[in-house]
Structure 1
């Protein structure tokens, strides 16, 4: 017999607190793992029935089988709204107004809270980063920017002193240098260790960027604790420390996770949003847009990012809510003005020059290079993660982060452009040569050295980011990618500028003005940054909008579009997946990408499904209340297909475990109901009802009952047609005495679950799951239950097809020597707001 599955939860949540709460239950490599019985076939003791899909540790424990069915969630929402519309009088008007205003209250509060927290994180990150180099003389709690506010860039800021200047005067050169170097290294390692310790001890879900997990969550899965207040607190504390440590990471991606945690916390008081999986995720999509809005100062880009990159389903109402949430967050950030600049754009670019035709070639080269670099970086990061797991480094995650911080600090201190905080470096790379040049980027007499240092910085940043992204610390990929691309782009721009100066008389540069001001290296830096980030994330429209909002350089939107397009085509030619999809596959998350293109006309649904003789089904009539209770007590399955009789197998519908428990609970509250009372899932005709006796009415709570039947309170209208009449059935065999009272559980069942023929091509099945957001389909043969196919079955099949080739998986088969139905994890399903199936 299979091992027992986990019991289902009583209420749907996105991040229930009852889940895994620490790494002590994880694998040897430091990551929590799914229980083996969840991944294995119920008949896993039979080698012929085992899946060939390898198990892999995952950092976020996907709650056992939790997933939502979008169609059912929206059906429940329509039912709830119909009940509100039926409320008469002034009370109904007030109820409708309040119900309509709730999502707007949530998105506005989420946007405001996101803006406030992002401002605090920006201020804290800037202060801690500057603390590695020195401190403000009279106000040590101020960053260098605030300490020297009001001074011209050319002026010397006497209020700011480095650690070397604090411990010695100009005569003690060696002492000052050693002090400066030692404090820099010590604080870098200390910040990294504290951040990693916070994550590993208090909130393991606060590590990494969080965007892959958000994609999975918005795809319908549930992750226990991923959006908890504890995660929000630890990520908000650990993120500034991680940025200040000097590790090659960014805070932009993690801010999306922080914003989603805020949105989840804000909507908790509103039951209609909290308990409906679809509406809950709509709010989280809006919160993700706010996260990008405050990370880059790009509200429009945030909305498009949520639409293009994050959300699986994005209805029109979500677009408007995301826009409002992103705008409110951006306005709040602008009002607080953490950088004391008075501007929302972080990296201002002045690009008023007219571009020439010959510049198309270097721009296209940057696009191609960005796509190649992105694909190579993804592969490098993926291989390093596999090495991290295989070598056991994950057993000491804090120690690993400390070593990374020490190595990064040593390398960064030796290269001047790496010693600068990444955000400040990007600001200078995006600047033209008309203003102050604090790092010598405009020194035309030393172009070769500058180009070498920029390429060296890009190469070192690539390697450091590849080994840092995935460590047990909050880390984003946006800013490191922008930095690498900006360095490479600026280097190409400097080379082009030097070539144009050397061969100014050539016909190629005939359109250039006589003063030689033809090439703007800062524009090349922006295009290089866009190409690199596009090659890593495979973002398109949202990336272009984010960058022109980030830089304010609307004049180079056309160049950005070309570079991003070429980078996308080049990266997709090498590998189809971006960095986030790669990490989803590394973690073996149950994610069905709605953008994935599945092509295989030789595999049918019956090749992938779990056959009916491995399912536990419920007969449509004749089961006593005690037998149903014994079914629930004896099996922890998430739901049950309902057939007309155990002999003919005609499909009547489906009932989730939670709905069946709720129905039995309602029945037990009726005094006339006993353990021997028979329960029916089909509405009898008049003659059959007389032979059975009186029906015992059960109070129906429409909010908890099945949506398909609860819409119709007349049970006669919900009767299924075409079945044999009641008087033609063998009621003696069913154990129903003439005149015995009975109860109907039709209102709690789903009478019209999605069902397909078992011979449906898998291409069609995949499209239905992708477009309708299904969790399962019943497969039939001339109306008789043939099997069941779940979202997880589909995910396993597509992963097997991707890894091993089509048809390489060993699918479960029926056991010919067993007559009794065998349980399967694909029967562990719930409809509506409850658990779907056990993930294998």
Structure 2
């Protein structure tokens, strides 16, 4: 029996991983086809994207006769490109609004809360999975500055939930279900980046606050099966798991550490800037655009297409853009003259504009009501900035080849590799926006397989983290949890030096064990929306008897009238009679009965118990009463209570003083105390200072731009 149970755990994790890999491969194939459909079509087969249509043509396939642009005129191609982007975004937003509203957004924030014990019914259901899987390729192909990696985690957790729900061992245990969800989140990142170990570390570093060795192995198996399935399907027909996977065989030099520090500073500043202003956009969206989700998505996609068409690095798909920026110039790495010395400053300008425009588009696009992630957009921003820096460093080397700074390059013609700077810039931006360190190092290592660039990656991420810590910013997932008001406790523990009695609610709604009638309970349910009621003795001493969920009370009151005549004056009791103890064992032996209808109690079983307890003139609720609720003493430190919430995930903890109920505490009570009562340490750079510096930068930039335009006008007039 034990062997079967242990085998079932591995089977469920492996099966979920296989399904996640298949789904990821299909999404990648459809996304590539839709993205190329905006640019043209294949005469050999309408279902082929440009890569497969021109499979026999090496390079960028400009000489492919089978691929036909929509028109030889660039203005017509621009219009068709914009129309496709608008249609894709409209379709995705309309499906999300009409069928599955939970399919919108990234999903990482919500998954973190669900793994932490927060219940969101329907968030991991089949409808959410189907709509998000179907609309995600449309959103990416529309050109919106959002990514599919965050939504891939949500879709993976939906698959894990659906697969595990087929097995009663998981459907009846929230703890085991959270293990599968943690493993599925690892698989979602693994297939997104082709990084199974990075996926496991992501689930440890970002998703789960309590991570056991057993869960780690489940995550490893799930991620491994997902990656192996994706590799077997080979969606890109290149042998690579992701489109921007590269291999570097050149070494780096110590003078480049200065550039690595610059990239790290950029990553930290980028994360702080985007998180701050994206939250302001989210507040504006909630206040003014909540009723127009489809119009907003279409408008954003249209603006992105109209503006992005004129920049070569925004016009193409972000993953394809990164695959170009990561390449070395040797071995066919030149794209649109990116490696040509004569075009280097034109390329620098193009990369700079792509960086600035993409940052603005990410700020206003992330959070709109379509599947939207921020991993790849951030990496694309870091890649354009890093490649720009790489080209500038290479130009500096060509201008001053005998400088002492480049002394080690005397014998190396190809001393500077701009593609590696794009790679490190992508790592810095991803770390800056998510505040991840070890996970990003491992993901980047698995993308390149180059041990030589582990140390530069660590240097860049260390600087990024230092800048982020100095600015006092958190990852965007944590900030969105706070913005949405989800009851989630941070992983970092602080010493509050207060007992739980200072945080608990004293004015609580209780139910006496006897003396109530049906009308009284109906009034209690109608007058409050709390999720449960403590049961206390009816003699006025306040002795704690148990706890009953609101859903159970509603379930019994709805079912009992079908058994016998229950009037509003029928007495109610929450205590067992002496002869009812046999029925108590019935309540314990029936799986799922403790949570009532919330976990799918069989209606026939419920009716059978109600027939037993609905004795004449008394309606008894005792089979649904939790007689051993989680209780603590008022003197218990708040830190211990927070650990109980994190490790056990209860909805409420009762405060009991010598068997007398004195209060209760929820996660929201703890969060309210940490926000209002405890004064957080002031960041060395607070919001006002941050806004002031941004305003100064904007004023300076606007002034220089205005002076430049005036100069150009004067030159043209001459």
- Using a 3 Å threshold, how does the CA distance of structure 1 residues 512 and 337 change in structure 2: closer, same or farther? same
Residue of structure 2 in register with 1:461 after alignment: 358
In the alignment, is the contact (CA less than 8 A) between 1:285 and 1:306 conserved in 2? yes
Deviations for 1:174-215, whole angstroms, at most 9, x for unmatched residues?
xx2232122111111111111111111111111111111111
The reply on whether 1:116 has 2:22 as its aligned counterpart is yes
Q: Separation in 1 of the partners of 2:233 and 2:579?
A: 69
- Using a 3 Å threshold, how does the CA distance of structure 1 residues 507 and 588 change in structure 2: closer, same or farther? same
Q: Which has the higher helix share?
A: 2
Q: Separation in 1 of the partners of 2:43 and 2:128?
A: 35
Q: Separation in 2 of the partners of 1:262 and 1:703?
A: 30
Residue of structure 2 in register with 1:357 after alignment: 254
In the alignment, is the contact (CA less than 8 A) between 2:189 and 2:202 conserved in 1? yes
* Post-superposition offset of 1:97: 4.2
Residue of structure 2 in register with 1:180 after alignment: 77
Residue of structure 1 in register with 2:42 after alignment: 136
Residue of structure 1 in register with 2:686 after alignment: none
The reply on whether 1:411 has 2:307 as its aligned counterpart is yes
Residue of structure 2 in register with 1:796 after alignment: 672
Q: Secondary structure of the equivalent of 2:119?
A: strand
Q: Separation in 2 of the partners of 1:260 and 1:678?
A: 41
In the alignment, is the contact (CA less than 8 A) between 1:216 and 1:589 conserved in 2? yes
In the alignment, is the contact (CA less than 8 A) between 1:137 and 1:160 conserved in 2? yes
Q: Separation in 1 of the partners of 2:203 and 2:578?
A: 57
Pick aligned residue for 1:265 from 159, 162, 172: 162
* Post-superposition offset of 1:631: 6.2
In the alignment, is the contact (CA less than 8 A) between 1:115 and 1:333 conserved in 2? yes
Deviations for 1:266-294, whole angstroms, at most 9, x for unmatched residues?
12221221121111111111111111111
Residue of structure 1 in register with 2:233 after alignment: 336
In the alignment, is the contact (CA less than 8 A) between 1:695 and 1:744 conserved in 2? no
Residue of structure 2 in register with 1:81 after alignment: none
Q: Separation in 1 of the partners of 2:578 and 2:234?
A: 75
Residue of structure 1 in register with 2:420 after alignment: 523
In the alignment, is the contact (CA less than 8 A) between 1:653 and 1:753 conserved in 2? no
Q: Secondary structure of the equivalent of 2:68?
A: strand
In the alignment, is the contact (CA less than 8 A) between 1:373 and 1:535 conserved in 2? yes
Residue of structure 2 in register with 1:766 after alignment: 642
1:677-826 matches, within 5 Å, as: 680=575, 697-698=582-583, 700-701=585-586, 702-704=588-590, 749-751=626-628, 753-757=630-634, 759-801=635-677
Pick 1 or 2: higher relative contact order, CA cutoff 8 A, min separation 6: 1
Q: Secondary structure of the equivalent of 1:414?
A: coil
- Using a 3 Å threshold, how does the CA distance of structure 1 residues 571 and 693 change in structure 2: closer, same or farther? closer
Residue of structure 2 in register with 1:430 after alignment: 326
* Post-superposition offset of 1:106: 2.1
Residue of structure 2 in register with 1:376 after alignment: 273
Q: Separation in 2 of the partners of 1:555 and 1:224?
A: 47
In the alignment, is the contact (CA less than 8 A) between 1:380 and 1:466 conserved in 2? yes
In the alignment, is the contact (CA less than 8 A) between 2:504 and 2:669 conserved in 1? yes
In the alignment, is the contact (CA less than 8 A) between 1:208 and 1:473 conserved in 2? yes
* Post-superposition offset of 1:445: 2.5
Q: With structure 1 as the length reference, what TM-score do the two structures score?
A: 0.71
Q: With structure 2 as the length reference, what TM-score do the two structures score?
A: 0.83
Residue of structure 2 in register with 1:738 after alignment: none
Q: Separation in 1 of the partners of 2:137 and 2:580?
A: 65
Q: Separation in 2 of the partners of 1:396 and 1:746?
A: 47
Residue of structure 2 in register with 1:125 after alignment: 31
Q: Secondary structure of the equivalent of 1:339?
A: coil
Deviations for 1:518-550, whole angstroms, at most 9, x for unmatched residues?
221111111111111100000111111122222
Q: Separation in 1 of the partners of 2:649 and 2:42?
A: 55
Residue of structure 1 in register with 2:200 after alignment: 303
Residue of structure 1 in register with 2:524 after alignment: 635
- Using a 3 Å threshold, how does the CA distance of structure 1 residues 520 and 442 change in structure 2: closer, same or farther? same
Residue of structure 1 in register with 2:382 after alignment: 485
In the alignment, is the contact (CA less than 8 A) between 1:193 and 1:401 conserved in 2? yes
Residue of structure 2 in register with 1:62 after alignment: none
* Post-superposition offset of 1:243: 0.8
Q: Secondary structure of the equivalent of 1:564?
A: helix
CA RMSD for the aligned pairs?
A: 3.2
* Post-superposition offset of 1:608: 2.6
Q: Compare 644-653 and 195-204 and name the one that shifted more.
A: 644-653
Residue of structure 2 in register with 1:836 after alignment: none
1:528-567 matches, within 5 Å, as: 528-567=425-464
- Using a 3 Å threshold, how does the CA distance of structure 1 residues 790 and 703 change in structure 2: closer, same or farther? farther
1:41-440 matches, within 5 Å, as: 93=1, 96-153=2-59, 156-165=63-72, 176-390=73-287, 392-436=288-332, 437-440=334-337
In the alignment, is the contact (CA less than 8 A) between 1:534 and 1:567 conserved in 2? yes
The reply on whether 1:577 has 2:484 as its aligned counterpart is no
Residue of structure 2 in register with 1:43 after alignment: none
- Using a 3 Å threshold, how does the CA distance of structure 1 residues 752 and 396 change in structure 2: closer, same or farther? closer
Q: Secondary structure of the equivalent of 1:610?
A: coil
Q: Secondary structure of the equivalent of 1:614?
A: coil
* Post-superposition offset of 1:754: 2.7
- Using a 3 Å threshold, how does the CA distance of structure 1 residues 511 and 651 change in structure 2: closer, same or farther? same
Deviations for 1:308-362, whole angstroms, at most 9, x for unmatched residues?
1112333222211111111111111111111110222532434333322211111
Q: Separation in 2 of the partners of 1:705 and 1:295?
A: 37
Residue of structure 2 in register with 1:80 after alignment: none
Q: Separation in 1 of the partners of 2:359 and 2:556?
A: 58
The reply on whether 1:616 has 2:510 as its aligned counterpart is yes
Pick aligned residue for 1:606 from 472, 486, 501: 501
Q: Compare 453-462 and 539-548 and name the one that shifted more.
A: 539-548
